[in-house]
Structures are given as C-alpha cells and as structure tokens.
Chains A and B, each alone.
Chain A
Amino acid sequence: MKTKRSKASARLFMVFFMFSVTLVCISVVAAVHLGSRERVLSNEALYLRQGIMVAAGLKVPADSETILTWYDRCVTPLPDEENATCYEIRAAAQGPHQAVVFIRQGAGLWGTIEAVVGLDPSLTQFTGIAFVKQNETPGLGARIMESWYGEHIKGRVGGLSLVAEGTRSKDPAKLDAITGATVTSVAVRDLLNRLIEEAPAITPSTRMPSHAPTHH
C-alpha cells in the first residue's frame, strides 16, 4: 500500500516538475520575445524598404531615417492579386518613375527564396534585386546575398539562361550561375523569368501614370 502511494506521488511529482520547468521556460521565452518584438518588427520593415530601394537600382543611404522618409514619399503600393507585393518607385518625390518593384517567391534548395525584384518602367529590364528570405547553404546557395550577384542581375532581360560563374556575359539574357549551387541558381533564374512574363499582366504599363503620387 505504502509502495503504491509512494509510486503515485513520485509520478505526480514528475508531472509537477515537468509542468513547472515548462512554465518557467515558456515565460522566459515569451518575455524575451515581447521585449524585443518592436525592434524585430522595425528591423523587418527597414529591411524590406532597403530591399525595395536596392531593387529599384537606387543607392541605399546608411541612415535609416532617410530610408523611411524616402519610402513614405516615393513608394506607392500598387494593387496586386496579393496584398502589397508590387510597388511603384520614384527616385525623388516629384521625379519620374524609376521602377516597378515586385516581391516574388521561388523554391530554393532548403526552403522558399523570397526576393524583391525591380523592373524598369517598360517592364523589360531588371533594375535590381534584394533577397529578403532564404535558407540556402551558407557559402554556396547563400551567396545570392553577395552584392556582386545582385549587381550582375541589373540590366538583364527576360528569357534568362545560366552560364558558368565568372563569365559576366555582355549578352543581357545570360546570367552567371553560382558554382556548387545549381538548384539555387536555377530557382533565381526561374523566378526572374516568370516575373518578367507575368509583370505586364500584373502591372500594365498604361496603369503607370507619369505624374507624382498624390498620396503618402
């Protein structure tokens, strides 16, 4: 009888102990999460705005305040089939159209690659690219984050095909692959080719007025 009771109390203690440790751990994680939430959200928002600037082919200033002000004055979200995945960009508030920027996704090696891609107002040439989400292999596929890769995409046109890394072809329809990262290179190529095919349907050039935006 005594053994049974002590076994039951030992089991009860195990449950109580596990429950208490879990409660403490969850509380600590929740506190850290809530304490840093604002900062994480503002980092994400700033990163997206920097990405839009890079994709539009503009130089990104070091000061985050300048980026936020530029975004409010010069970026107009356009209606898309999804919410806010397409933006009309001006270099300055009263300036001409610089680019149309899209947020697009493709299947990488380890997960989804999300990129902010810019096209010129005629929707035929890439103005830049910034990758906002990727889980590619560090040192291989993750090299799409390196600045040379984005720079290399600038000025390319649709119907892209891959060539060996380092070729830097003058043909605007040839894109350097990344050595040892075929799946990632193909994923980026397909994402770009698909976008340039779909862009006119999403954003007909006739929908792009030449005057400055009236809101923001």
Chain B
Amino acid sequence: MPPRTTEAKQIFRDNIGRDNPVFVQVLGICSTLAVTNSVKNTFVMCAGLLFTLSLSNLTVSLLRRWMPSRIRMMVEVLIIATYVIIVDIALKAFYPEIWRQLGPYVGLIITNCIIMGRAEAFALSNPPGLSFVDGVAAGIGYSYVLLAIAFCRELLGSGSVWGVQVLGGWWENWAIMVMAPGAFFMLALFIWIVKGLILKPDDETKEAS
C-alpha cells in the first residue's frame, strides 16, 4: 500500500478515535453546548463545519509555502471566515428555515477552535491532499460526537428526534436537557464512557505521550 494512503488512513483513524477533537482534545465545546438540543440543527452545523474545516485546511496547505509566518493567523482567519460566509449565504438561499433556527451559530463556526487548530497543527506543515483528509476526518470526528449528544438531548428534552415526536404523551420532557447544562452532562457522560470503556490503555498512553 502506498505510504500516503497508509498515512491518510492513520489520520482518519486518529481523528475519529484517540485524537478526537471533542472527547479527547475537548475543542469546539461552544457549539456542542449551543446547537445540540436539536438533531436537525446539529446536522446542519456539522455539515457547515465539515465543509469549512476540510476546505480551509486544503487552502492553508496550498498557500503554506508562500505564507509569511508573521501574518499566517490573519490569513487563516480570513480563509476560514470566507468559507463560513459561503455556508451562511448558501443556507440563507437554499434552507432559509434552518438558517433562521440556527441564527448566529453558523457565523460562530469562525471561532471554532478545531478549524484554527487543524490549520495551525496540520495544514501548515503537510501537503494539500493529506490536509484535506485531516479536515474531513476531524469534521467527521466532531460530527458523530455532536450528533450522538444531540440525539440524546432532543429525545430526553423534547421527546422527539429530527423534529418527529417519538415519545408519547406519557413522556415528561426534561427541561434541563434543552438547556446548556444538559449539554455539559451529556458531553461528560460521553467522555466518561469513551475513555473508560472504549479507548484502550495503550491508546491513552499514546495520547499522553
């Protein structure tokens, strides 16, 4: 197998598992708190982040040879902001209902630490192909955690999934689940379960090193 393919697979595995941006690096928590009380909103947020993260990684990597290091952060923010505004305009034009529901959170993708973190830590020192793969993998790693949290929060907090009522009239909605503390509880539970039961000890050793 060519080394690049092996490397890409490793990047993918790391971002989804032992280097996951949410439950290992604990990045992007603002949006975890903000949008995960609805699966539909979370899905759109994740799609927006995946688009922005992969393309900003690709662009930063393409420009890395010419980018003066003293202004690199300004350039990165500019590139990220461009992709986020494109997502915002596309949502406004094609999915106005979801755009209205998400309100300011789409614009706040710019401040998501994962995007800037991957651009600084990976895209600046790796070729465009691998940087793109890294962006997609980190985006997927972020998305599945958020979607799992959103599923639990919407189900317990509103008795519905994707806006469809699944729990009957007997269900008493847990108001705390749609409030920000509900997201903290769910995220903490998620981290506890994953670190305690799924991540193997050697993974944690690697993580520590």
Contact = CB atoms under 8 A, between A and B. Distances in A.
Interface of A: 10, 13-14, 17-18, 21-22, 25, 28-29, 32-33, 36, 39-40, 43-44, 47, 110, 134-136, 138-140, 142, 145, 179-180
B93 A21 contact: no
Contacts of B37: 138-139
Nearest to A27: B82
Given A17-B66, A33-B89, A36-B92, A140 B179 contact: yes
**SS class, residues of chain B in contact with chain A:** helix
A40 B82 contact: no
B82 A180 contact: no
Interface string B102-129: 1111000000000000000000000000
A40 B101 contact: no
How big is the B interface, by class?
35 or more
B206 interface: no
A25 B157 CA distance: 41
Interface of B: 34-35, 37-38, 41, 63, 66-68, 70-71, 74-75, 78-79, 81-82, 85-86, 89-90, 92-94, 96, 100-105, 157-158, 175, 178-179
A43 B71 contact: no
Contact of A180 (B81, B94, B175): B175
A145 B86 contact: no
17 contacts: A10-B68, A13-B68, A17-B66, A17-B67, A17-B68, A18-B71, A18-B74, A32-B86, A32-B90, A36-B89, A36-B92, A40-B89, A43-B92, A134-B103, A138-B34, A145-B100, A180-B175
